[in-house]
Amino acid sequence: MANNIVTSYDAKIHNREDLGDTIWNIAPHDTFLLDNAKKTSASNNLHEWLHDSLPTPSLTNAVVEGTDAVTQAQTAVSRIGNYTQNLQKVFAVSDGQKASDEAGLTELARLTYNNQKAIKLDAEATLLERTSGAVGDTSTARTMKGVAGFIVTNALCGTGGSVVAGSGASTFTNPTVTAGTARPLTEALLTQGMQQSFVKGGKVTTLLVSPLGKMTVSGFNARVAKMQNVADDSKVYHTAIDVYDSDFGPISIVPSIVLAQVSSTNAYGLDLTKFAVAEKQSIGMEKLARTGTYDKYMINWELTLESRAEEASFVIRDLSGY
């Protein structure tokens, strides 16, 4: 090597660092219920809606010919309620950081993006997994009840477990949930949930499960043959079940990373037409008043879950290996 040549090894203090302009973030942010439930609005802290049902078919509906018509007793509609919940993310960026030469996104843009995604994940987890809500007060946050707290009629629990509907004069009540003995997700449990929802008039189209639950369903033997429709010239052998062809209609098997992240032991069979997300305050970001050499931002969202007919869906609780 020739003498007196300055190499990159000698000038490493003088050389700028090689820092890419892309910030990679692979954190999952799937929000199936939030994205697929119907949307409506709320105008009060206690959001309410009406529920009605038909009587059981009668085998004795017969009258004597020529007799006067007699008025029959009718069932009144019931009113159901759920409290709205404020979800919030607050972050701040200093003036010094904003004046810096930043790689990739600015810190303000990065934090805005991340917190908008994070509040949606919080909403998804809350809409699904909260078993109870509360009216709140000046020192306690108001909270909503999620799917896990609404589904009582078709709650399939492990041995010793139960979900008992709350009672009281209010249109909002919390259930009493008793954990049962953990057991694995089985085809028999899925079929039982589908059957019970069908009898109540539900049309379950989605089974929302953890990623491990999705793998479990793909191992169900009774329906695998129906889902392995492989063309003669295809070299792909399909063993995953994305749609389970039940006796009560096809049901899409949807893995939810949120259920895994919150360590859920529930699998949800959903009739999505019977759920809605009601917004009182749409999601929005606001720059707050300055109190120092930094800017503070708040993302706020007030919403609740509207469960229009809980008996149309089912939940399989107390799952193990899930």
The per-residue pLDDT for 226 is 44
Residue/partner pairs of 232-238 with CB below 8 Å, 24 or more apart: none
Secondary structure (DSSP) of 237-298: -----SEEEETTEEEEEEE-HHHHHTT---EEEE-GGGEEEEEEEEEEEEEPPP-SSEEEEE
The per-residue pLDDT for 169 is 74
The encoded tokens of residue 48 equal 């309410």
Secondary structure (DSSP) of 73-131: --PPPEEEEEE-EEEEEEEEEEHHHHTS--SSS-HHHHHHHHHHHHHHHHHHHHHHH--
Q: Where are the domains of the chain?
A: 32-49+78-228+239-316
Q: What is the CATH number of domain 32-49+78-228+239-316?
A: 3.90.1690
Mean pLDDT per 10-residue interval, the chain, length 322 residues: 57 57 62 95 96 92 93 92 98 89 84 93 97 96 98 98 89 95 97 97 97 94 51 56 90 96 97 97 95 95 97 98 88
Distance CA 39, CA 63 (A): 45
The per-residue pLDDT for 16 is 60
The per-residue pLDDT for 322 is 87
The per-residue pLDDT for 270 is 98
Which amino acid belongs to residue 25? N
> Phi/psi zone of residue 168: left (φ > 0), alpha (ψ -120 to 50 degrees), beta?
left
Residue pair 292/92 in contact (Cβ under 8 Å)? The answer is no
The per-residue pLDDT for 214 is 95
The per-residue pLDDT for 258 is 96
Residue/partner pairs of 195-199 with CB below 8 Å, 24 or more apart: 195/247, 195/248, 196/153, 196/154, 196/156, 196/314, 197/154, 197/248, 197/269, 197/271, 197/311, 197/312, 197/313, 197/314, 198/248, 198/249
The per-residue pLDDT for 176 is 96
Distance CA 308, CA 88 (A): 26
Nearest to 286 by CA among 34, 29, 89, 86: 89
